[in-house]
Amino acid sequence: MRPRVLKNGIFYTGDVRAPYARALAIGGERILALDEEALAWAHAPGALVEDLEGALVIPGLVDAHLHLMWYAMSLRDLDLRDLSREALLQAVAERAAELPPGEWIQGRGWDQNLWPGGRFPTAAELDAVAPVHPLVLIAKSAHAAVANSLALRLAGIGVGTQDPPHGHFGRRLDGAPDGMLFEHAIEAVLAAVPQPAIAEVVDALAVAQEQLLAVGLTGVHDVDAAPAFAAFQQLHRERRLKVRVTKYLPLEVLDDLLHAGVRSGLGDDRLRIGGLKIFADGALGARTAALFAPYEGEPDNVGGLTIAPEELLAVARRAAGGGIALAIHAIGDRTNRLVLDVLEVVRPLGPGLRHRVEHVQLLAPEDAPRFATLDVVASMQPIHAPHDQVMADRYWGERAAHAYAWGTLGEAGARLAFGSDAPIESFDPRLGLYAAVTRRHEDTGAPGPEGWYPRQRLALGEALRAFTHGAAYAAGMEDQLGLLKPGYLADLVVLDRDIFALPAEALLETRFLRVMVGGAWAEVP
Ligand SMILES: [Zn+2]
């Protein structure tokens, strides 16, 4: 294997003991050496030497929470983000005109909070523009959706249909479903949508991974449903998987995993099993996340759990006892407390497992130190803070001081792993880094120069760590990924400017010149 020497760069290693290097040598997939020792490799037979002309190089970025199949498949869905009610109906009408009758139309990203009055859409409104195409449109939060009458009919949902556990149908005065679907009621309609063939998913993922590389992402932690796993395996088998994937599998397959003896860490450094993804509550936007005290202005609404505490504990015991790490979705402060309580109980059953709480959006301040004490990873998505700020202030009031609290968590010694929750938000890590260090909206600058609850801001190095070594820790790969260090996998990104030397705004303009995964430069479009 010919060694490759990268010289004359500013290598930000992420290693606190030696944060910078000037040169880096690579052999095969791994980093051989830094600095003088790296330069010595230039004299080895056949060595390739590349001059980086002073560019900044950082470890490859990892998105620690996204739904890649969902994103990839949604590239063909209607993008309803930021649309008014009228524009949404218009977009549906246009798509219906293009498709043969009977074909499903899917869309996502609408947000009634942006509409005057904030009233939810109805099946009747959708029927008017798309009477002969089944239609389901998922809200920005993904915890609510709206379907038209044909979709409801195909899903077998009518006047007599009972609400599912942990979910409900919006209803008209006569009791008939009005098209709105909350929490588990969404699945009742999605179950009627024909599943895409694996080949379709493979093709869609192949497109999506190019987009990841283009923004410096060399790895992802995917929390999508099980079909994505088959598709990732096919890509890997065909040597077409260009980014590293740590796969989290849904609760439905726990029994199968346990029967087969599948444990966290199974796989290789390109595709491996992370653990089990479980939902414990809803979301902020739909006001379904479980809180200790009611939502502001809704004295009767404290949200709710989507799984009974006893059941969560039982499931967590079985998973941890079988060597499977838990990744539990918890938005509300009440849910975060519950999940930490559960993880405290099951921790001894599976020593070393990298349990994680997904989102950690609202946290009782006294629970922050528990992440460090219990060695639980706080898996957070910084972009949610500036984008949810208005909603969080409105629905959580003063409690928002402890929302998206990576500052508090970091000070308390918690390990942070950052992601995006794409496709709910963009997976562009520049936006996540900017949000983490400024707590400001990337377009509007809201709420002002100091940012939203500025004590929660992170230094750039800390934010970058959560997107690199922190994510590696969450996947149990911290001894080989997330730092530029001898022995580590050579995943790195070359930037067009030194983001450490510039104001935070420069992050948004930064371009990724080159991306390397496992010692090989990726073709970046
Ligand atoms: Zn998610």
Question: How close is the Cα of 329 to the center of ligand 1, in Å?
Answer: 8
Q: What is the 401 CA–ligand 1 centroid distance (Å)?
A: 23
Distance 223 CA to ligand 1 centre (A): 7
3-state secondary structure 282-306: CCCCCCCCCCCCCCCCCCCCCCCEC
pLDDT digits (tens, 9 = 90+) for 432-490: 999 999 999 999 999 999 999 999 999 999 999 999 999 999 999 999 999 999 999 99
Centre of ligand 1 from the C-alpha of residue 277, in Å: 10
Q: How far is the CA of 381 from the centre of ligand 1 (A)?
A: 9
pLDDT (tens digit per residue) in 206-236: 999 999 999 999 999 999 877 899 999 999 9
How far, in Å, is the centroid of ligand 1 from the Cα of 425?
Answer: 10
Q: How far is the CA of 421 from the centre of ligand 1 (A)?
A: 5
Q: Which residues of the chain have pLDDT under 50?
A: none
Collect all residues with Cβ–Cβ distance below 8 Å to 9 and sequence separation of at least 6. 22, 23, 24, 52, 54, 55, 56, 57, 494
**Spacing, Cα 66 to ligand 1 middle (Å):** 6
* Cα of 479 from ligand 1 centre, angstroms: 26
CA 423–ligand 1 middle distance (angstroms) = 8
Distance 123 CA to ligand 1 centre (A): 26
- Report the length, in residues, of the chain: 525
So what's the pLDDT on residue 525?
A: 59
pTM above 0.75, yes or no: yes
CA distance 182 to 170: 8
For ligand 1, the distance from its centroid to the CA atom of residue 419, given in whole angstroms, is 9
What pLDDT shows up at residue 499? 98
Q: Tell me the CA–centroid distance for residue 70 and ligand 1, in Å.
A: 10
Q: In what order do the strands lie in the sheet with 271-279?
A: 61-66, 217-222, 244-250, 271-279, 325-330, 356-359, 377-380, 416-418
The alpha carbon of 143 and the centre of ligand 1 are apart by a number of angstroms equal to 11
Q: What is the pLDDT of residue 197?
A: 86
With DSSP H G I counted as helix, E B as strand and the rest as coil, what are the percentages for the chain, rounded to 5? 35, 25, 40
Determine the angle formed by the axes of helices 384-396 and 429-438, rounding to 10 degrees: 50
Question: What distance in angstroms lies between residue 382's CA and the mean position of ligand 1's atoms?
Answer: 13
Cα–ligand 1 centroid distance for 327 (angstroms): 11
The confidence score (pLDDT) of residue 225 equals 79
